[in-house]
Chains A and B, each alone.
Chain A
């Protein structure tokens, strides 16, 4: 277990390093990085100053090292629109995205997991087909279209929900549903197949043979075992969630990182885009590590493997 975790940690660091290198190469391939970081209106004095400051007159490997030490020291470049530190600009947008993302994540779990369990318990019945039909609909419905449809109905036609901003609880309803629906669909499908897989196992037959009631069989034997594969895809769901928040925040004018990213890409604010990419990468790597930990904790075989390692 420990070795596995160290291996994963190493992979995670490797991923972050890979993305940073990718950004470094891209920044230099896309033309003069000073153009990108300072903007078009930079004076020659400014360019000379920053060339020396960032060391663009040095050999490329030296620049590469400087790039990493710079990031490490919190030197993330500046937003050329208002000259503020790019990292600070991104940080102040994080809470809004975090609240929205967590709410949507919980929403998709609350909707998806019971739907999947229900479908698996009533396999090949009308309930199953209905639940899976909903799941496919949820997955195929593009989030931007769902958002627009809801805006049209709840804001413009019935005028019961606010269209944009993040002021009150009512502001959360449409963005959360929009962001969580496709996740709920894929979680439902995955939960169903994980449940079906578990239900065919010999231990389920044993549980039935020893006279456990269906409810107890589900709680004590099926759910804990089916939870293991479901947890592993939750890490991937987070990635989809981050990608989805870019769209949803734009549709509902949510003051989060996703909307900042779209605006920064349009304005080619590379320092901010870079900060967001690095942040997202770190978040994903940490999330996947946590999934691995959770996986080990949920699966007794993984848990006990640790004792075997030492023994």
Chain B
């Protein structure tokens, strides 16, 4: 990872970007298209949705989707309360992607900041931060999230914050290592010699140089964040009705598997497609931006 100088890293990046435009693998393009569909669907849920996601139609309970002989009024059928699954899917996708995005960003910001702090000379702070990193890496964080939800009860902001802190330790560890190795390079030593402030060196010069690592980790962390949110919501401990998320839809569809399996399978398939596409894109990004790893 270390050893590439400032200039050659830049050069490699541009050539990589040029080649990537022409030779993006088919699977990755498919994944990007799939992600785009979900992102657009979630973003424009309000315009696309044919029905109010909360509107119940008890005469039309458990109606089958189009591919099972249903009609186009309810493209993906209805749930046990006669609510349109297609409309609910759009809003659930918005919630799941939103929580995952926000959570990933919270983790990335906290982790990057603490990673930078831990790379400084102060041995006490860096020792404390690295001990926390070790502790969090050693514990299944989902259990601590459950404990916190039991203690404080469920609130959306708390849930998002918890999902956010789940991933910070990996960022902190990676960024600390990258900053430490960047500091041995000549451009940083030159900047130090010219008397640039620590803020300037780290913010303006080191941060852009470790951005690749950050981008890769964000793309690899995103699927885990989605899975954390959906599995907690699936258990009924995350997103609560009347709000809905893909995990919440799957969890409530579980009770009607025998009569209407699509209620659970449609959101489940969506989660699967999103995490799969994101993992494939993340792997591709890693190979592209950091061929040495």
Contact = CB atoms under 8 A, between A and B. Distances in A.
A18 B237 contact: no
Given A136-B279, A136-B283, A276-B143, A145 B151 contact: no
Question: Chain A CB within 10 Å — which of B140, B144, B254, B276 has the most?
Answer: B140
Given A27-B151, A140-B275, A142-B231, A280 B135 contact: no
B151 A30 contact: yes
Given A140-B223, A152-B257, A262-B235, A243 B144 contact: no
A277 to B, nearest CB: 5
Contacts of A94: none
A242 B147 CA distance: 14
B67 to A, nearest CB: 16
A52 interface: no
A242 B231 contact: no
B70 interface: no
Nearest to B135: A15
Contacts of A103: none
A273 B150 contact: yes
Nearest to A143: B231
B236 interface: yes
B53 to A, nearest CB: 21
Interface in A5-40: 11-12, 14-15, 18-19, 22-23, 26-27, 29-30, 36
Nearest to A19: B139
Interface string B275-289: 110011001000000
Interface in B209-254: 223, 227, 230-231, 234-237, 247, 250-251, 254
Given A11-B131, A152-B257, A270 B150 contact: yes
Contacts of A18: 135
A148 B265 contact: yes
Nearest to A18: B135
A66 interface: no
B39 interface: no
A104 interface: no
Contacts of A15: 134-135, 138-139
Given A140-B223, A261-B143, A268 B271 contact: no
Residue among A139, A148, A280, A288 with the highest chain B CB neighbour number at 10 A: A148
B174 interface: no
Nearest to A157: B261
Contact of B142 (A23, A235, A246, A269): A246
Contacts of B237: 262, 265-266
Interface string A219-263: 000000000000000011001101100110011000000000110
A141 B268 CA distance: 9
A12 B265 CA distance: 42
B271 A145 contact: yes
Contacts of A143: 231
B149 interface: yes
Contacts of B279: 136, 139-140
Contacts of B257: 148, 151-152, 156
Interface string A135-177: 0110111111100110110001000000000000000000000
Contacts of B148: 26
Nearest to B267: A145
Contact of A23 (B147, B235, B247, B271): B147
Contact of A148 (B231, B268, B275): B268
Nearest to A151: B257
A264 interface: yes
B272 interface: yes
Contacts of B258: 156
Contacts of B144: 19, 22, 277
Contacts of B137: 236
Contacts of A265: 146-147, 149-150, 237
Given A246-B143, A277-B144, A280-B143, A140 B272 contact: yes
A285 interface: yes
Contacts of B276: 136-137, 140-141
A103 B191 CA distance: 56
B153 interface: yes
Contact of B146 (A139, A148, A152, A262): A262
Contacts of B272: 140-142, 145
Contacts of A235: 138
29 contacts: A11-B134, A12-B138, A15-B135, A15-B138, A19-B135, A19-B139, A23-B147, A27-B151, A141-B276, A142-B272, A144-B250, A144-B268, A148-B254, A148-B264, A151-B257, A156-B257, A242-B140, A243-B140, A243-B141, A247-B231, A261-B146, A262-B235, A262-B237, A264-B150, A266-B237, A268-B153, A270-B150, A273-B151, A277-B144
Interface of A: 11-12, 14-15, 18-19, 22-23, 26-27, 29-30, 36, 136-137, 139-145, 148-149, 151-152, 156, 235-236, 239-240, 242-243, 246-247, 250-251, 261-262, 264-266, 268-270, 273-274, 276-277, 280-281, 284-285, 288
Given A140-B272, A273-B151, 14 more contacts: A14-B131, A15-B138, A23-B147, A136-B279, A142-B275, A144-B234, A149-B265, A156-B258, A246-B142, A261-B143, A262-B146, A265-B149, A270-B150, A277-B143
Q: 4 nearest interchain CB pairs?
A: A145-B268, A140-B276, A243-B142, A239-B140
